[in-house]
Chains A and B, each alone.
Chain A
C-alpha cells in the first residue's frame, strides 16, 4: 500500500530553537496515524510543514504523492486541514463559511451551496447554519472547521488536536466522524495530547518529543514495550501481605512487589480477566480480607512516561509552543 504521507528527516528551526529535528513519518493510504506528544514536541510544526503552511530547513516530504515544496499548489487541492484553533470566519454564518471555501476550490456556485448544505446537515449544524459563527459554541466551531476541511473531499486529512477543549460528548461525536472518514478511505494524520484519543482512533501511533519520533507502533506494540498487565491489590492489614504474596505466587510472571505503605501489592501477570477471577478465588480460600483489587493494563500514559521520563499532559515551559 502506498504511503499517503511520507516525511524524511524534516528539520525546522526557529532561530536557536529546533522545532523539528529529523522527523521521519510514513502513513499508509487509508489509515490513521496518531502523532502523540506533549506541548512543544513539534506536532503542530509537523502538520504546518506537511500542509505547506510553513517552509522548512531540511529533509523532504510528500503528501498524496506530491512534493510539499514543488507540488504545493496541486497538493493543496488534495488535503484538508482542521486546526487547533477553528479556522472559520466569525462574522460569516456557518453556511457562508462553507460556501466561501467551496468557491475558493472552484466547485462552482450551485455545487458549492449544495456541498455546504450537505456538510451542515452531516455535522448537525442545520439550525445554526444561517447564524454568524460568533455565536457558536466551541464544539460547533470545531465541527464547522472540520466541515470546511472536507468541502473538497480531501484524500488526506490533517487534524491538529481536533478535540482539545471539547466537552466529552462533542469529543465522541468528533471521533465518530473521523472513524467514518477513514472507513471511507481517507488518510488521516491526527495530532493529540490525549492518549485515550490516539488509543481509540489511530492505527499507528508515533510518539514525538523534541521534534523527533521516539517510538512508533500500534497501541498494543507500544504498551508491550513498557510491560504487560498487573494485578494491584490493597489488603486490609499489613500482616496479610506475606500471606497474599504466597497465595498469588502461582499467578505471578515476575517478582511481586509491595509498596512502601505496606498493604499495597503489585503482581505482574498475564492472561487478562481470568487471572483476576483466579486471584480472587485464591485469596478467598486463604480468608484474606481485600479492600481493593484490580487488573491494570498499561496505558499510553505509562508508555509516554516510560519513553520520555515525564507525563504526557505536563506542559513544557521550554521550547516552541507548537502554536
Chain B
C-alpha cells in the first residue's frame, strides 16, 4: 500500500510557485468547464436550437415585409443575429456560474493554493466553447436555408473571432450579475433586461434608416449595433467604417470595468 500522508510539518514545500500561475490555474479550470459542457449537451440548446428558431421566425414572418424577399432578408439578418446568438450564449455563463457556485466544488477551489479569481476566469473562458458551437450551428443552418458569404474565408473568420471576443468581454457584465444575485432566476431576469435593449436596439431586424430618430441615436452609440454592422461588412462586403474600432474600444472598456468588479463580488460571496 502506498503512503497517504507525508506528515512532517517542516517538510519543504513541494509545490513551488511558478510563473503564470493564474493563467495555468484558469486553464485547468476552463478544461473542467468544457468537459462539463460536453457531458451535458442539453446545456447547448440555447445556442443551437434557439438561434435557429429566431432565424426561421424572422425570415419567414418578417423577411417579406422588410426586405420584400426572404432570400435577401436572410443575407441581411444572419451576420447580425450571429452576434445576438453569441451574446445570449454568454448570458448563460452568468446564470450557470450562479448555480455552480453554490455547489461544494467551489469550496474545494477556495481551499486550494490558487488565485481566488481563477475559478471565475476558468468558467468564463471554458464557456467560449459555447460561442463556437453557437456560431457553427447558426452558420450551418443559415447556409442550408440559402445564406451565402460574399467575402473570403479570412473576413468571415475575422467576423467570428471579433464576435466571440466582444461577447466574451460583455459576458463579464452577466458574470457580475451572477455573483451579486442570489438565485439563477434573478440573474436570468436581470440579464435579459440589459440584453434586450442592447440586442434589439440595433439594425439587426430592420435597416437603421427605417427607425425613428431617437432609436437611431441609440443605435449610433450601442456597441452591439457596431458589432452587428462590422459582422455584416466582414461577411457580405461593403464599407467597414469605424465599426471595428468602436467594438474594440467598447470591449476592452467593458472588460476592464466589469471583470474586476465580478472578481471582487466573487471574493466577497461566501
The interface of chain A, by Cβ under 8 A from chain B, is 2, 4, 29-30, 51-54, 64-65, 73-74, 76-81, 83, 85-92, 96, 100-101, 103-107, 118-119, 121-122, 132, 145, 148, 150, 152-155, 177, 180-181, 184-187
B13 and A150 contact, CB distance less than 8 A: no
> How many whole Å from B38's CB to the nearest CB in chain A?
9
Q: Secondary structure of the B side of the interface?
A: loop
B39 and A88 contact, CB distance less than 8 A: no
Q: Residues of B contacting A80 with CB < 8 Å?
A: 111
B7, B32, B110: the one contacting A185 at CB < 8 Å is B7
Q: Residues of A contacting B11 with CB < 8 Å?
A: 155
Q: Residues of B contacting A103 with CB < 8 Å?
A: 24, 28
Q: Residues of B contacting A2 with CB < 8 Å?
A: 9
Report Cα–Cα, A105/B4, bound state, in Å: 16
B7, B25, B113, B270: the one contacting A184 at CB < 8 Å is B7
Nearest 5 pairs of A and B residues by beta carbon: A185-B7, A184-B5, A87-B104, A87-B108, A153-B6
Q: Does B40 contact A (CB under 8 A)?
A: yes
A92 and B35 contact, CB distance less than 8 A: yes
B111 and A105 contact, CB distance less than 8 A: no
Q: A64-B9, A77-B13, A77-B113 are in contact. Are A180 and B4 (CB under 8 A)?
A: yes
Report Cα–Cα, A88/B31, bound state, in Å: 15
B111 and A79 contact, CB distance less than 8 A: yes
Q: Residues of B contacting A54 with CB < 8 Å?
A: 270
Q: Which of B9-49 contact A (CB under 8 A)?
A: 9, 11, 13-18, 21, 24-25, 28-29, 31-32, 35-36, 39-40
Q: Does B105 contact A (CB under 8 A)?
A: yes
Q: Residues of B contacting A86 with CB < 8 Å?
A: 104
Q: Does B2 contact A (CB under 8 A)?
A: yes
Q: Residues of B contacting A64 with CB < 8 Å?
A: 9
Which partner residue on chain A sits nearest B104 by CB separation?
A87
B28 and A100 contact, CB distance less than 8 A: yes
Q: Indicate with 1 or 0, residue by residue over B84-118, a CB within 8 angstroms of chain A CB atoms.
A: 00000000000000000001111111111110001
> How many whole Å from B258's CB to the nearest CB in chain A?
24
- Choose among B9, B11, B35 the residue with the greatest number of A CB atoms under 10 Å from its CB: B9
Which partner residue on chain B sits nearest A2 by CB separation?
B9
Q: A92-B32, A122-B1, A184-B4 are in contact. Are A148 and B9 (CB under 8 A)?
A: no
Q: A86-B104, A155-B8 are in contact. Are A81 and B2 (CB under 8 A)?
A: no
Range, interface on chain B: 35 or more
Which partner residue on chain A sits nearest B7 by CB separation?
A185
> How many whole Å from A179's CB to the nearest CB in chain B?
11
User: Can you report 28 residue pairs joining A to B where beta carbons are below 8 Å apart?
Assistant: A53-B111, A54-B270, A64-B9, A65-B9, A76-B111, A77-B13, A78-B9, A83-B107, A85-B107, A87-B107, A88-B105, A89-B32, A89-B36, A91-B36, A100-B32, A105-B113, A106-B15, A107-B14, A119-B4, A122-B1, A155-B6, A155-B9, A155-B11, A177-B4, A181-B4, A184-B7, A185-B7, A187-B7
A30 and B18 contact, CB distance less than 8 A: no
> How many whole Å from A60's CB to the nearest CB in chain B?
19
B15 and A105 contact, CB distance less than 8 A: yes
Other 9 A-B pairs with CB < 8 A, given A51-B111, A106-B16, A184-B4: A52-B111, A76-B113, A77-B15, A77-B113, A96-B32, A100-B29, A181-B4, A184-B3, A186-B7
- Choose among B3, B40, B104, B106 the residue with the greatest number of A CB atoms under 10 Å from its CB: B104
B8, B15, B110: the one contacting A107 at CB < 8 Å is B15
Q: A153-B5, A184-B3 are in contact. Are A81 and B108 (CB under 8 A)?
A: yes
Q: A53-B107, A148-B108, A184-B4 are in contact. Are A91 and B35 (CB under 8 A)?
A: yes
